[in-house]
Amino acid sequence: MEKNVILSLKNVSKTFPVGKSLLGRPTKFVHAVNDVSFDVYEGETFSIVGESGCGKSTTGRLINHLLIPDSGEIWFQGKEISHISQDEMRPIRKDMQMIFQDPAGSLNPRMRVSELIEEPLLIHTDMSAEERAKIVNNLLKIVGLSDKHASRYPHEFSGGQKQRIGIARALTVNPHLVIADEPISALDVSIQAQVLNLLHKLQEEYKLTYVFISHDLSVVEMISDRIAVMYLGFVVETAPKEMLYKTPLHPYTEALLSAVPIPDPTLHKERIILEGDIPSTINLPKGCPFAARCKKCRPECLEQRPERVEVEPGHFVACHLYKK
């Protein structure tokens, strides 16, 4: 079966200015996202993993047109969207919704639950109040809340319940793509599983495509079909889930996987402990972004950026150890 590409990033880069000279010109730049390319297929869950500051959240906001890339192209449903105007973007947003990490912050504290959930309907449709109320009540039940809660305010709910409200809001307009930016990392362990299961159920019911942004490799393994690993704003490895977890190619992916603590005391695995800290994204290293912490670093790694190569079908890596 031929898979349809729903979203495609081509060499996308984004920098943020920091520090200002006397004339108000920025003196330094944070290189948040560097030359990122990947395709997302319809109906799959594509995860972006990495540690803090790796550019995964910025990538999510670039896809959602909340940020405009410095260079590169973003194609969504066959249309280049990176540089279109807000007005041109509005109808597209109906098909592309986002769920945010901080469930409390993402809900306007002065709006009732019903007003929060129906907001996309107000923007994108001209439904009557009754039609909207019907959809809201139905969605509340789908995400495991009671329709009695529709007239409540967000502060009366727990973190997990707030995230359910956020999810319900994203689903009102039947989107095709949902970008979930760390949707469960602010939640408690037992609540995380609830929300993950909910996302899984909704994906099957609504045929959703997810771009799932997370730092948690165990969660990502559960929910993803394909994964991109980011480090210092670069995608260092992209692969289907099974390949990535069974045969990680990039030394960083390997270290990242081995660093995850496993909730099983009988298991004693050998760890790859990385030396040092994640370098700053203000002065990018000249060669491979991971070279400074890499145990397999070679002279060329310090000099030259590795190119992306396809080692096996669908498994891409940017590392000098793997040459064409």
Partner 1 sequence: MPNTQNEQVKTDTSFEENYIDENVSVKTNKTKEFIKKFMKRKTAVAAFFVMCFLLLMALFGPSLAPYAPEAYDYDNILAGPSASHLFGTDQYGRDIFSRILAGTPLTLGVSLSSVIVGAALGTVLGLLAGYYGGWIEMLVMRGADVLFSFPDILLAIAIVALLGPGIVNVFIAVAVFTVPSFARIMRSATLAVKGSLYVEVARSLGCKDGRILFVHIFPGTLQSLIVNFTMRIGSAIMAASSLSFLGFGANIADPEWGAMLSLGRSYLSTAPHMVYLPGLVIFITVLAFNLFGDGLRDTLDPKIK
Partner 2 sequence: MSQEVLLSVKDLRTEFFSSKTSSVTAIKDVSFDMYRGEVLGLVGESGCGKSVTSLSIMQLLKDTPGKVTNGSATLDGVNLVEASDTQIRDIRGGKMSMIFQEPMSALNPSMRIDKQMIETIRLHQDMTKEQALAHAADMLKKVGIPDPARVLKNYPHQLSGGMSQRVMIAMALSNNPELLIADEPTTALDVTIQAQILDLMKKLQKEDGSSILLITHDLGVVAEMCTRVIVMYAGKIVEMAPVEKLFATPSHPYTQGLIASVPKLGSGVKVLPSIPGSVPDLASMPTGCRFAPRCKYATDKCREQEPELLDISEDQKCRCWRTQEG
- Is 142 near partner 2 (CB under 8 A)? no
Q: Determine the distance from the C-alpha atom of residue 13 to the mean position of all C-alpha atoms in its chain, rounded to a whole number.
A: 16
Compute the least distance from the CB of residue 122 to partner 2, in Å: 29
DSSP secondary structure letter of residue 304? S
Binding partner at 277 among partner 2, partner 1, none, C-beta below 5 to 8 Å by kind? partner 2
The first and second tokens of residue 76, run together, are: 């969504």
Binding partner at 85 among partner 1, partner 2, none, C-beta below 5 to 8 Å by kind? none
CB 36 within 8 A of CB 11: yes
CA distance 294 to 289: 10
CA distance 319 to 143: 42
CB within 8 Å of 265: residues ≥ 6 apart: none
Q: Which is nearer to partner 1, 138 or 158 (CB)?
A: 158
Stretch of 68-76, 89-97, 127-135, 219-227 lying at the interface with partner 2 (CB under 8 A): 219-227
Q: Determine the distance from the C-alpha atom of residue 155 to the mean position of all C-alpha atoms in its chain, rounded to a whole number.
A: 26
- Is 188 near partner 2 (CB under 8 A)? yes
The first and second tokens of residue 300, run together, are: 């060329």
CB 21 within 8 A of CB 77: no
- Is 215 near partner 2 (CB under 8 A)? yes
Helices (H), the chain: 56-63, 86-93, 113-124, 129-142, 159-171, 189-206, 217-223, 241-246, 251-259, 299-303
Binding partner at 259 among partner 1, partner 2, none, C-beta below 5 to 8 Å by kind? partner 2
Binding partner at 218 among partner 2, partner 1, none, C-beta below 5 to 8 Å by kind? partner 2
- Is 202 near partner 2 (CB under 8 A)? no
Q: Which is nearer to partner 2, 59 or 64 (CB)?
A: 59
Residues found near partner 1 in the complex (CB under 8 A): 64, 66, 89-90, 93-94, 97-98, 100, 102, 105-110, 119-120, 123-124, 141, 144-146, 148-149, 152, 155-158, 160-161, 164, 169, 194, 197, 264, 266
- Residues lying near partner 2 in the complex (CB under 8 A) are found at 51-52, 144, 158, 160-161, 188-194, 196-197, 200, 215-219, 221-223, 245, 255-267, 271, 273-274, 277-278
